[in-house]
Amino acid sequence: MKKGLLYIFTAGAVLMAALALYPDRTFDFSRATYIDLTHRFNPDIPHGPGLRAEKIETLFHYDPGVGTVGSGALIYYYQLPGQWGTHVDAPAHFIKGKRYLDDIPVSEMLLPLVVLDIHEQVRMNPDYQVSLEDVISWESRNGPIPEKSFVALRTDWSKRWPDPTKFYNRDENDIAHTPGWSRPVLEYLITTRNITAIGHETSDTDPGTAASKLDFTLEIYFLSHDKYQIEMMTNLDKLPESGAMIIASWPKAYQGSGFPARVFAVIPGGS
C-alpha cells in the first residue's frame, strides 16, 4: 500500500510540475515517452586522465566461497571517482564556497528541457563550439528559452561511447578534438535566460582543445554562478528540441562535488 501511495504521489508531483512549466498545454502521462539519458558505467568506460578506474569487489555472493565476506546475498563494494560516467558536477567541483551536491534542492532536479542541436556542425568540425547564432535560431523556432530550464547540448558525441579512443579523439600531440560550449552562449543563458543547469555528451564543458591543456575556463565560469551541470549524457538525438522535461537525480553525498547521476527525459503525451 505504501509503495502504491508513493507512485501516486510521484506521478502527481510530476504532473503538477509539468502544468506549472507549461500552463498552456494538457499532458497525458499515460501516453508519455521516457528517454534514459544515462550511460551504463563499468571499469572500462572513458574517463579523464588522472581519474582512477573503477574497482569492484564482491563482498557477498549468493554462493559460498565467492564473496570476500560471506554468502547468501549479492553485495558489491565500489571504488570510483565522483566524476564517473554520466555524472553531476556541483558548483563546489571547482568553486570553493559554492554549493555541494547535498545543497542542491530537488526543485532543481525537475526542469523544462531545451535541446540545442549542433550535431551537423560537429560532424563537419569536431572542435565546434555552440554559437550565439545557434541559440537565437533555436529561439526563433521555439520562443525564448524558459527561465530555470535545463539546456542540453546535442552533438551526437555519445555515439562514440564506450570506445575511449573515439570518445576523446586525440591527435598525435595528445590534444583531444571534441566539441564544447562557448563563453557568449553561457553568458546569455545565465544572465539573459536565468537557466538552472546545462548538460552535454562530452566529458568537459570546454572543447577538447582547451581541456587537453587543463584549461577549464568555461566550466569554472558556469559553476561560479552556483549552477550545476551533467556530463557524458546520451540519447539526446531521441529528444525534441523543446517541450520535454528532464529529471536529473543523484545520491545525496555529504559535501560531494560530483557523483554518477541517473538522468532521464519525459516527453508528455497529449496536446
CA distance 249 to 201: 17
- Region 115-123 average pLDDT: 99
Answer yes or no: do 71 and 169 share one domain. no
Give the chain's radius of gyration (CA, Å).
Answer: 20
Find the CATH number of the domain harbouring 227. 3.50.30.50
Answer yes or no: do 177 and 89 share one domain. yes
Q: What is the span of the domain harbouring residue 257?
A: 28-47+84-269
CA distance 202 to 206: 9
Q: What is the pLDDT of residues 18-65, one digit of tens each?
A: 555 555 555 667 789 999 999 999 999 999 888 999 999 999 999 999
Answer yes or no: do 216 and 263 share one domain. yes
Phi-psi region of 234 (alpha: psi -120 to 50; beta: other; left: phi over 0): beta
- When the pLDDT of each residue in the chain is averaged and rounded to a whole number, the result is 93
pLDDT at position 3: 41
Q: Count how many domains the chain has.
A: 2
248 has which bridge partners?
Answer: 263
Q: What is the pLDDT of residues 245-271, one digit of tens each?
A: 999 999 999 999 999 999 999 999 854
Answer yes or no: do 59 and 121 share one domain. no
- Region 98-114 average pLDDT: 99
- The size of the chain, in residues, is 271
Residue 119 or 1, more confident: 119
Q: Could you give the maximum distance between any two Cα atoms of the chain, in Å? A: 63
Answer yes or no: do 35 and 74 share one domain. no
Q: What is the pLDDT of residues 202-237, one digit of tens each?
A: 999 999 999 999 999 999 999 999 999 999 999 999
Answer yes or no: do 37 and 144 share one domain. yes
User: Is residue 22 in some structural domain?
Assistant: no
User: Is residue 21 in some structural domain?
Assistant: no
User: Is residue 88 in some structural domain?
Assistant: yes
Answer yes or no: do 245 and 136 share one domain. yes
| pTM (global) more than 0.85 | yes
